[in-house]
Amino acid sequence: KVLATGNDFYSNPRVNGNQLAYITWNHPNMPWDSTELRVLTLDSTSNKSSDHELIAGSDGDTSIIQPLFHPETGDLFYISDESGYYNIYRK
């Protein structure tokens, strides 16, 4: 079953229970230029990325890398350059 469609590239899928976090971007952007971090529930009926919750990258000029769910709390952590420098964020 295809879980996410509509964008050109997908990477770094991470699962936590019933949630899947992933990074996505479109050509001509490169992942260090502009990406989005999105989360979907695995029982979702929609596989369109635009229907999945946008966590970070809405400005079209942010690079997000290395999403990771905390193994005990389930909090989602990721690295983003939204401030102009790469920093660690928690959803």
Residues 26-84: tens digit of each pLDDT:
999 999 999 999 999 998 888 898 899 999 999 999 999 999 999 999 999 999 999 99
Q: What is the pLDDT of residue 81?
A: 97
Q: Do the bridges between strand 53-56 and strand 36-41 make them parallel or antiparallel, or are there none, so unpaired?
A: antiparallel
Residue 15's H or E segment, with its range, is: strand 9-16
CB 35 within 8 A of CB 57: yes
From the CA atom positions of the chain, what is the Rg in Å? 13
Query: N- to C-terminal Cα distance for the chain?
Result: 27
Q: What is the pLDDT of residue 44?
A: 83
Q: What is the pLDDT of residue 16?
A: 96
Q: What is the pLDDT of residue 1?
A: 86
